[in-house]
Structures are given as C-alpha cells and as structure tokens.
A and B are shown apart, each in its own frame.
Chain A
Amino acid sequence: QGQLVESGGGVVQPGRSLRLSCEASGFNLSNYGMHWVRQAPGKGLEWLAVIVHDGSNMYYADSVKGRFTISRDNSKNTLYLQMNSLRAEDTALYYCAKNQVPYASMVHFDFWGQGTLVTVSS
C-alpha cells in the first residue's frame, strides 16, 4: 500500500512562510493525484489543494488560493505545500493524502500520512 510521511511543520509568526513536504514510499508517486488536507485543533477536515499525477493541473480551496502552492517532484517521490502569508487561522495538522486510482483526477483517497503540525503565532 505504501506510506506517506509529512515534515516541515513548526511554529511560525503571522505573515511568514513555511514549506511542507510529503515523502512517498512503497509506490510510484508519479502515477497518482495527491492532496493536502488540514485539521485545526479539535475541528473537522478541510480540503486544501490537489495536484494531478503529472503536475499539469492544480486546484485550491478559496481559503488558501493565492497564498498556498502545491507542487511535486516525482523524481524525488515528494509532494510539497508552500505556504505564504500565514495567518493564525492556518494553525492545524496538515495531512497529505493519495488518490487510490492511478491517473484519475476525481477519486477518493486510499491513505493518508500522519500529519505535520503548523502553529502560527507571534
């Protein structure tokens, strides 16, 4: 089935930037669309962004559009989320998640990483 491991979280001041990584193992990342989803403390899940398998198309939630950028390096089997102009409300556990069906765009996630915590605070 494979594994996803997120990293790059931490404490950051409002207005600053952070880049998250999601390293995939046990499967070929280049075959799958990938997503970022976050969960604020004690809250539900919020879908943030998707990138198709070859990186040719991305889509964002309105809450992060223009501030966050999803990208991938298939040669490194790694997904990224560049987060700029961070706000207190961006404080959350950030998960990466994998589409189950290769090369498909609109499909469910078959597994998720364990998440990396981002805290935006002065």
Chain B
Amino acid sequence: EIVLTQSPATLSVSPGERATLSCWASQSVSTNLAWYLQKPGQAPRLLIHGASTRATGIPVRFIGSGSGTEFTLTISSLQSEDFAVYFCHQYNIWPETFGQGTKVEIK
C-alpha cells in the first residue's frame, strides 16, 4: 500500500501568516491527491483535489501543488477558521490511504 507521510505533525502559526504543509507518497500517485480539513467534532471537508484544484467554495488562499510523490498545501494568510487538522488522501490506487495529519494551531 502507498504510505503518505505528512510534515510537520504540528504547525504553530500566527493569524495572517503563511502556512506550508507537506505530504510525501511512498510511490507515485500522479496528481490523484486530495486535501481535507477537519475541525474538532466535525467530519472532514474537501479543500483540494487533483493535487491543485480547489473544491467549490474554497477560498483562494488555499493553494495545492505537486505531483508524483511530493505535495504541498499552502495557506497564504491564515484566518481564524483555518486552525484545524489537515489530511492528505491518495486515490491513485486501492487501497486508498490517508496521511496521519498536520495540526495547524494558533501561535
């Protein structure tokens, strides 16, 4: 199975600052990678699919990039509602897999 490794595990950022989250795949997933945001007590919500396409209604401050084995989610200017856990997800091959998550917390 493809292992997704997210880094860092926790990211402390001040509101208005930029956040950069990474996701590495143990083998190529092409651009079949999505990012989800999860807040406490809520289900995950789709942010990015196809490595770089924002889902409907997602603000432009969320930027996805990468292909193959290296992916990045950049939040250009953190807003209060962005403090949450972010997961990457590969759907290139079964079994599908998720990264272990990056928690973005207020500095």
Residues of A within 8 A of B (CB): 35, 37, 44-47, 50, 59-62, 95, 100, 106-115
Contacts and interface: CB of A to CB of B under 8 A. Distances in A.
B44 interface: yes
A111 B55 CA distance: 11
Interface residues of B, number: 25
Contacts of B94: 50, 59, 106
Nearest to A59: B94
Contacts of B32: 106
B46 interface: yes
B106 interface: no
List of 3 A-B pairs having minimum Cβ-Cβ separation, nearest first: A108-B34, A108-B49, A112-B43
A47 B43 contact: no
B97 A108 contact: no
Q: Is the interface of B mostly helix, strand, loop or mixed?
A: loop
Contacts of A113: 43
Interface of B: 1, 32, 34, 36, 42-46, 49-50, 55, 87, 89, 91-101
A107 B94 CA distance: 11
Given A62-B1, A106-B32, A108-B34, A47 B46 contact: no
A2 B95 CA distance: 26
Nearest to A115: B43
Contacts of B96: 35, 47, 50
B43 A44 contact: no
